[in-house]
Amino acid sequence: MLSLFPFYHEMLDVMLARGKIEFNVTNGGYLPETTTRFGTYNPQNWGCTTPPQGPSTNTYIRYHDEGNLELLLFLLDTYSHTQNASVWMSWGAPMASAILNYYVQRYPPPSTGQPIDFFPAQALETWQCPKPTDRSNCVTNPAPLVAGLRSVLPKLLALPPHLVSGITGSSLLINSFRLHFKVLAFSNRVCR
């Protein structure tokens, strides 16, 4: 795993730029489902009609961002297994900060008592969102995203405080999701 983390960490600046350009996210970013060594889209995955700002027009990967949570899970599991704080602080904390800020701003926490609304989104490459303005034709609260957050957030909470303190956005995200996941709890909403 240790060779994997620097590979993705080198893409951090591109991730942050992508978050700002595509979703107007500050200090947050994400990696698309497919990427080059430099953190950019593969040319065929960007889409020929994609404007300079905004998400890709390729519906297979446009909102497919759960892979970021998988990367965080790798980083958290590595820390849990090795207890190597320098690995976490070098690669995990900066990546967690970018990814958590992305999710906080991309899907703002709802007002108290309201369920989280992950929209527009998609579930892997299968359930896409071809028209983000049409809820009836898009995924809301995709199970892979909800499951990924439910897996990552408790592990972040279990880290020693000095390893979490530098992660911007983490307290807002963790507190918000901790409360609102209870409300969501797959209650009356259907994950498609």
pLDDT digit string, tens, across residues 12-66? 999 999 899 888 998 889 988 888 888 888 777 776 777 777 787 888 888 888 8
pLDDT of 113 higher than 70: no
pLDDT of residue 15: 92
Higher pLDDT, 181 or 93: 93
What is the C-alpha end-to-end distance of the chain, expressed in Å?
33
Q: Please determine, for residue 97, whether its predicted confidence score (pLDDT) is greater than 60.
A: yes
Q: Quote the crossing angle between the two packed helices 93-106 and 67-82, to the nearest 10°.
A: 150
Q: CB–CB of 23/33 below 8 Å?
A: no
Confidence of residue 184 (pLDDT cuts 50, 70, 90): low
Q: How does pLDDT run across 42-56, given as a tens digit for each residue?
A: 777 776 777 777 787
Q: What average pLDDT does the segment 85-101 reach?
A: 91
pLDDT band (50, 70, 90) for residue 192: very low
pTM of the model: 0.85
- CB of 170 closer than 8 Å to CB of 154: no
pLDDT score for 183: 43
Total length of the chain: 192
- pLDDT surpasses 60 at 190: no
Mean pLDDT of the chain: 81
Q: φ, ψ for residue 123 (rounded to 5)? A: -105, 105
> For the stretch 4-38, what's the b/e string if a residue is b when 16 or more beta carbons lie within 10 angstroms of its beta carbon?
ebeebbebbebbbebbeebbebebbbbbbbbbeee
List, in sequence order, the alpha helices (H) in the chain.
4-9, 12-23, 43-46, 67-82, 85-87, 93-106, 143-158, 161-164, 170-184
